[in-house]
Amino acid sequence: SPPSLRLCVNGAVHEVGVAPTAPLLAVLRNDLGLNGPKYGCGLGECGACTVLIDGVAARACVIPAGGVVGREITSLEGLGTRAMPHPVQRAFIDEQAAQCGYCLNGMVMMAAALLARDPCADEAAIRRELSGNLCRCGTHVEIVRAVLRAAT
């Protein structure tokens, strides 16, 4: 059986029996049942799988689980709850920024990381931050509006 890894996810320690080379995204989804992060391209190119590693946005599909032992991993589930959404989640709901929703995990995680380090981010900064996250529905205008709403 594969060696077990200790991962700190959303504030709790989890022992998972996976190879250190297993992609973090697969571990989150398959072993921990965290389906907020999505599998889009699997190549680090679309952003659907974004999580925070020690508060910094990262693409979980190309991060080996063994590389984030001892780091603080936050998935969408750890950002906010239905009863108490993160301000970015609240703003996405208020602006009805979702269409199919597949890209939203990445958009929300990127925006949350941006606003954590720059709470007054302007539209240009938001556009720059989200430019590498693909949305096939073309809802970028609503998404940027939502992030602007969450910025102070």
Which residues here bind ligand FES, judged by CB under 6 A? 39-42, 44-49, 59, 61
Between 9 and 103, whose beta carbon lies closer to ligand FES?
103
Nearest to 11 by CA among 68, 60, 75: 75
* Closest distance to ligand FES from the beta carbon of 133 (Å): 9
Handedness of CA 62, 65, 68, 71 (dihedral sign): positive
Q: How far apart are CA 49 and CA 122, in angstroms?
A: 25
Closest-approach residue to ligand FES (CB): 61
Q: Which two tokens stand for residue 13?
A: 């320690």
Residue number with CB closer to ligand FES (12 or 43): 43
Signed CA dihedral, 31, 56, 133, 100: sign only: positive
Q: How far is the CB of 129 from ligand FES (least distance, A)?
A: 15
Q: Closer CB to ligand FES, residue 10 or residue 105?
A: 105
Between 103 and 151, name the residue whose CB sits nearer to ligand FES.
103
In the complex, minimum distance from the CB of residue 90 to ligand FES, in angstroms, rounded to a whole number: 25
Report in angstroms the alpha-carbon separations of 9 from 5, 27, 32, 46, 64: 12, 11, 9, 22, 15
Instruction: Give the nearest distance from C-beta 91 to ligand FES in angstroms.
Output: 23
